[in-house]
Amino acid sequence: MPRAIVCLLDSVGIGGAPDAASYGDEGSNTVGHIAEWAAAGKADREGLRTGPLHVPNMDAMGLGAAIKLSTGTLPPNLSDTPKGGRFGVGREVSRGKDTPSGHWEIAGVPVPFEWGYFPQTEPTFPPDLIAEFLKRTGLPGILGDKHASGTTVIAELGEEHIRTGMPICYTSIDSVFQIAAHESHFGLDRLYEICKIAFELTEPLKIGRVIARPFIGETAETFKRTGNRRDFAIAPPEPTLLDRNAAAGNQVFAIGKISDIYAGSGVTHKLKGTGIPQLFDCTLEALEMAGDRAFIMTNFVDFDSEYGHRRDVPGYAAALELFDARLPEIIAAMRHDDLLILTADHGNDPTWPGTDHTREQVPILVFSPALLPAEIGIRPTFADIGESIAAWLGLAPGRHGKSFL
């Protein structure tokens, strides 16, 4: 009996969407620009890796061909002739370029409303929101109160946070309210508690997520975020693929931050990991446990959080190569009628100005020993991914999208 696995390579976009200009992202191309940068020899000078981008396994599934279909240009050291599987391009219909929109739409539910966002001012949060937050939490105040990169703002304010006990609150161009606090000096459970309060206050504003960002270390030079991140997210407005498969009595494995993104709805098994190797191990563990008609979904967040937002081109290239090198392990663990899909939720071009996501199309790379190779074209909605998985698992069609299988 069939099973389905989605490896969601967070932010691995393949070229600006048709409406990218309205987001200031026309010309962005996460994988394409990384490949060009590597081929130009610039990565060599960083001392992290050398030579052109080397991702032969994803390329065999159609990565290069998908980028050419998306942009009209084939990046260096990639091929436009896949060796197996089906390939295509996903185009998002939900507005914005944030994590919940992409994930929900992939699971068959495009976002039907506008997210709330905080202005790019300093301070950025409404005074009445912060006043109520401090009243309900008993905190003496907050630090930050601005748009910021998480690692940068922790380095800037972490020592003051330890000294004063005030959490670091910040946002980005996405619909988020983020709270960073030290795991031991402030306390992990306490951080989760104040994030829950913040979520109750921001949910009416249609802020998509409140994110707990715990860190360790004692100085600006040694601060490091940990894997105990937790997202408090608005629930999808209708049943997703996860809900539909769980309702049919089947297993749903949520790996990484997947459970948080879907507010735990439809999840029967939750596995956590930090970094690409651990997330890969968790995916293989889920495959060992998964029964017939199980659905496994893993978010590989490091592409986005560690390399995209930090504009770390060689780090992003090395992460793509690491993922690619381990990809055969998943394929080897698959049954004859299992389905594997590699895709993404948005872009985060590390060569692009700023530190935020980029509005891009995404690859849809599909493999099963039971499938013949084919091009599936440019899909008009990410929801086609969810409907294809639903058809593969024998579920009734949903309201959005069409199967490409």
In a domain, 122, yes or no: no
Task: Give how many domains the chain has, as a whole number.
Answer: 2
Q: Which of 198, 216, 233 is the last residue of a domain?
A: 233
* Domain range for 61: 4-113+237-393
Provide the pLDDT for residue 151.
87
Q: Is residue 242 in a domain?
A: yes
Residues 76/70, Cβ–Cβ less than 8 Å: no
Q: Give the bridge partners for 176, in sequence order.
A: 209
User: Strand 209-216 and strand 176-182: pairing?
Assistant: parallel
Determine the straight-line distance between the first and last CA of the chain, rounded to whole angstroms: 17
pLDDT in tens, 298-314: 999 999 989 998 899 99
Please answer whether residues 344 and 10 qualify as being in contact, where contact means their C-beta atoms are separated by less than 8 angstroms: yes
Q: Phi, psi (5° rounding) for residue 389? A: -65, -40
> Is residue 327 a part of any domain in this protein?
yes
Q: Say yes or no: 10 and 71 in one domain.
A: yes
Please report the pLDDT score of residue 46 as a whole number: 61
Domain check: are 183 and 265 in the same one?
A: no
Same domain assignment for residues 347 and 246: yes
For position 328, what pLDDT does the model report? Answer: 98
Residue 398 lies in a domain: no
The amino acid occupying position 350 is P
DSSP state of 289: H
Contact 95, 116 (CB under 8 A): no
Residue type present at position 81:
T
Q: Are 161 and 182 in contact (CB under 8 A)?
A: yes
pLDDT of residue 155: 96
**Same domain, yes or no, for 193 and 248?**
no
d(CA 199, CA 178): 10
Q: Are 381 and 400 in contact (CB under 8 A)?
A: yes
171, 192 Cβ separation under 8 angstroms? no
Q: What's the mean per-residue pLDDT of the chain? A: 95
Q: Indicate the residue among 193, 217, 233 that finishes a domain.
A: 233
- Cβ atoms 398, 383 nearer than 8 A: yes
Q: 187, exposed or middle or buried, with CB in 10 Å at 0-12, 13-18, 19+? A: middle
* Residues 152 and 260 both lie in one domain: no
Same domain, 44 and 176: no
Residue ending a domain, choose from 170, 204, 233: 233
Low-confidence ranges of the chain (pLDDT < 70): 43-46
Provide the whole-model pTM: 0.90
Looking at the domain assignment, is residue 85 inside a domain?
yes
The reply to whether 379 falls in a domain is yes
Cα distances (Å, whole numbers) of residue 343 to 145, 238, 384: 34, 22, 12
* CATH code at position 359: 3.40.720.10
The strand ranges marked E within 220-370 are: 224-225, 230-233, 252-255, 269-271, 295-300, 339-343, 362-367
Helices 188-202/127-137 angle, 10° precision: 140
273 and 197 part of one domain: no
- SS3 assignment, position 328: helix
Residue 7: its H or E element? strand 4-9
pLDDT at position 44 is: 60
Q: Return the CATH number at 189.
A: 3.30.70.1250
pLDDT at res. 45: 57
Q: Which pLDDT value is given to residue 43? A: 57
Q: Token pair for residue 275?
A: 């970094």
Instruction: Write down how long the chain is.
Output: 405
pLDDT of residue 84: 85
Whether residue 248 sits in one domain with residue 224: no
Q: Are 230 and 212 in contact (CB under 8 A)?
A: yes
Contact criterion met (CB below 8 Å) for 110 and 383: yes
Same-domain status, 290 and 327: yes
Same domain, 91 and 170: no
Residues 92 and 155 in one domain: no
Query: Is residue 144 assigned to a domain?
Result: yes
The DSSP code for 183 is I
Query: What pLDDT is attached to residue 292?
Result: 97
**Amino acid symbol at 69:** L
Residues 159 and 305 reside in one and the same domain: no
Q: Per the domain annotation, does 118 fall within a domain?
A: no
CA–CA separation, 130 vs 36, rounded Å? 45
| Beta strands in 283-361, from DSSP E residues, in sequence order | 295-300, 339-343
Residue 7, beta-bridge partner list: 298, 342
Torsion of Cα atoms, 52 then 57 then 62 then 65, to 10°: 10
- Beta strand ranges found along 323-389 (DSSP E): 339-343, 362-367, 374-379
Q: Check residue 227 and give its pLDDT.
A: 84
Helix (H) or strand (E) holding 279: helix 275-289
